[in-house]
Structure 1
Amino acid sequence: MQLANYLFFTTQCDAALAFYTECGLGQVTTLMRHGDHGIPPTSEGMKGKVVHARFEGPGVLFFASDNHDAEPMRGSAHILLMDDRGKTKDLFEKLASGGKVTTPLALQLWGSYYGKLTDRHGVQWMLDCKV
């Protein structure tokens, strides 16, 4: 068994996946679009939008799609457990670009180099480095 998240966007899934690729988290390994391969779009506005995507990188797996009735992201966050402070800082800065830092990346009371942010696509991320 493995737990993986599924991210729902209204119409910005392509932009979000490109952003996560640019940040170095991994890449899209499966991509299907509304209107392709006999998949009917739910509306004309959804034609060409992402109906299902798989995103993978070292230690990263999630799925995503555009969904006409998607609710804003809330109540959940991706936590990335890291082992290099320099890489943690670099990734944190990339993910925070255009987003909002809610806990600045710093050494925390519990001993982790940790920070939390909401990225420009409304997804919450926590980065935790024990080193």
Structure 2
Amino acid sequence: MPQLNPYLHFNGNAEEAFTFYKSVFGGEFAVVSRFKDLSNPEYPVPEKEENKIMHISLPVGNNSVLMASDVPEFMGQVNENENRTKISITAESKEEADALFNGLSAGGKVEMPIGDSPWGSYFGMFRDKYGFEWMIDFDFRQ
């Protein structure tokens, strides 16, 4: 079965965001590469972008990896208000769902407070302080 892993793009604050995500999920970064780590003279990196994140990954749980990069200025800016794709997390308990919801939504905007849903699960939605949308779900029936 294929594994799906979200890949997020940032406007120069990927490291800040991933430090925040790591504070919620725990664990350690598997990879942190900066644009200055490119050693190809054919693709010079502007000095102001050398320390931006070229690739970062944070393992989450047993089978998932959250990944990201900063978008170099020459590629344009990411419109953080247009991140309409939601990252869905299925928690293993109501307590874990609450911890993830409260941690990730800190400083963001709650769209649907976490609670019992009409379809029978414990569910909530929000946009985090970096503009990404999340859904947290715990299904009592599983």
- Relative to the length of structure 1, the TM-score reads 0.90
Q: SS at the partner of 1:115?
A: strand
The number of residues matched between the two structures is 131
Structure 1: 5+ residue runs without aligned partners? none
- Aligned mate of 2:106, from 87, 90, 97: 97
Rg comparison, structure with higher value: 2
Per-residue CA deviation, residues 54-112 of structure 1 (Å, 9 max, x unaligned), is 22121431210011324224220110011211111111111111111001101010001
Q: CA deviation at 1:124?
A: 0.7
Matches within 5 A, 1:58-73: 58=61, 59-67=63-71, 68=73, 69-73=76-80
Q: SS at the partner of 1:23?
A: helix
Partner AA of 1:101 in structure 2:
V
Partner AA of 2:118 in structure 1:
L
Per-residue CA deviation, residues 20-69 of structure 1 (Å, 9 max, x unaligned), is 11012543201110112526564332110101112212143121001132
Q: Matches of 1:42 and 1:114 in 2, distance apart?
A: 43
Q: Matches of 2:95 and 2:8 in 1, distance apart?
A: 27
Structure 1 residue 6 corresponds to structure 2 residue 13? no
Matches within 5 A, 1:1-131: 1-24=2-25, 26-38=27-39, 42-58=45-61, 59-67=63-71, 68=73, 69-73=76-80, 74-131=83-140
- The alignment's C-alpha RMSD in Å is 1.7
Q: Matches of 1:23 and 1:41 in 2, distance apart?
A: 35
Identity of matched residues, %: 27
Residues 12, 124 of structure 1: alpha-carbon distance in 2 compared, 3 angstrom cutoff: same
- Relative to the length of structure 2, the TM-score reads 0.84
Q: Matches of 2:92 and 2:37 in 1, distance apart?
A: 41
